[in-house]
Amino acid sequence: MDAVTTTQGVKPPFDQSRLDRLMDEADFDFLIATSKHNVQYLLGGYKFIFFSGMDAIGHSRYLPLVIYEKGRPDRAAYIGNKMESGEHQNRPFWTPELHTATWGSLDAAALAAEHLTKIGRTDARIGIEPAFLPSDAYIALRKALPDAKVFDATSTFERMRALKTPEELAKLRKASDLITESMLATIAAAHEGSTKADIIEHLRREETNRGLHFEYCLLTLGSSHNRAVSPQAWAKGEVLSIDSGGNNQGYIGDLCRMGILGEPDAELEDLLHEIEAIQQAAFSKIKAGAMGEDMIIEAEATLKTSPSAAFTDFFCHGMGLISHEAPFLMTNHPVAYEGIDADKPLEENMVISVETTMLHPRRGFIKLEDTVAVTASGYEMYGETGRGWNRGGTAG
């Protein structure tokens, strides 16, 4: 995993040299991770089960912190909840300093300040995650460390996670494979009269039974473009789009597949073929060293030739522990980020979601969303099954 063993003998479960280089570029002495995804990454995949689905407890919240000093993993610290001492007994955390003593955000901030004081770095340049550090903890940290300089390290954390390890790729592949399996089983089980609520609940069970953590399902039936849960029922001859996200040990699968109750007519075959042509155009430009914008230009050029171009959209984004992460390839105003990586080369082991969405005025919501990992010579697709028209009502 490219981990570095220091003279102090501490071996972090991540690429230390890469993280140190990113910290050099940003001029940070320390990083303090407080988001669940970055804490999980820095701890080598660990996530405390008690707070996996919530944060609030009592008058405060669970606030795990990983403190990492550039070039000094021997002085790294993990600050966690008091109940995590049992986790440490079963599978020791790698950080030399461990404080499983907190029940809220203020005591977590106090222990972070105490750690920096103990190692004599109260004047350090510290990178934090502003969107994931509660205001009371931030204020307490600033009061306890008045000489420290604090900066937004969101971009550094994002760059840290951009290149996936073989273990991460395996988790992403499994998440994608299990989601497509679940979606195809759900389409086959749905029948005339099945409501959107019924279908979504069936998908939740399919994903959960396969060991995934169900995140969401966006579903349309017939000519509607509305993807929210409702009592709308599936009728003969109608299309179904099923877009679902689920995670495998924190790693996200996010794909979309199409169903039909009956047989697709020639028009539906042509419409899905248009979408497939745009997807394939994008795939043709994916490989390590190619510019991110190359696949966007190729896909959009193909989109312009489509008879359905006026109501069809192409998009792509990085993914991993969260559903939109580096590389940031296209501007996405609803999610509020810019496509700052379009003019940079793709790197091996980046993972990208590629999606083409058609909002047809008569035939409904037609979409394919695929997950690909960048390789030296091209790409590898995850969860590649079911990319055509899948028939509903075929389960025994």
pLDDT at 165: 96
Share of the chain above pLDDT 70, in %: 98
Contact 105, 60 (CB under 8 A): yes
Pairing of the two strands 77-81 and 65-69: antiparallel
Average pLDDT of span 109-136: 98
79-83, 268-272, 331-335, 363-367: least confidently modelled range: 331-335
Average pLDDT of span 166-170: 97
pLDDT at 7: 36
CA distance 78 to 100: 8
9-13, 239-243, 301-305: least confidently modelled range: 9-13
The helices-and-strands tally (H runs, E runs) of the chain is 10, 16
DSSP string, 161-188: HSSPPHHHHHHHHHHHHHHHHHHHHHHH
Give per-residue pLDDT as tens, 252-287: 999 999 999 999 999 999 999 999 999 999 999 999
Give per-residue pLDDT as tens, 80-106: 999 999 999 999 999 999 999 999 999
Average pLDDT of span 143-155: 98
pLDDT at 333: 79
The size of the chain, in residues, is 396
CA distance 58 to 66: 23
Tell me the sheet residues that pair with 77. 67, 97
- If we measure between CA atoms, which residue out of 111, 69, 106, 76 comes closest to residue 94? 76
Tell the residue number behind the tokens 């390839």, with chain if given: 329
The three-state DSSP-derived secondary structure of 43-69 is CCCCCCHHHCCCCEECCEECCCEEEEE
Give per-residue pLDDT as tens, 235-248: 999 999 999 999 99
Mean of the per-residue pLDDT values of the chain? 96
Share of the chain above pLDDT 90, in %: 95
Token duo for residue 281? 């155009």
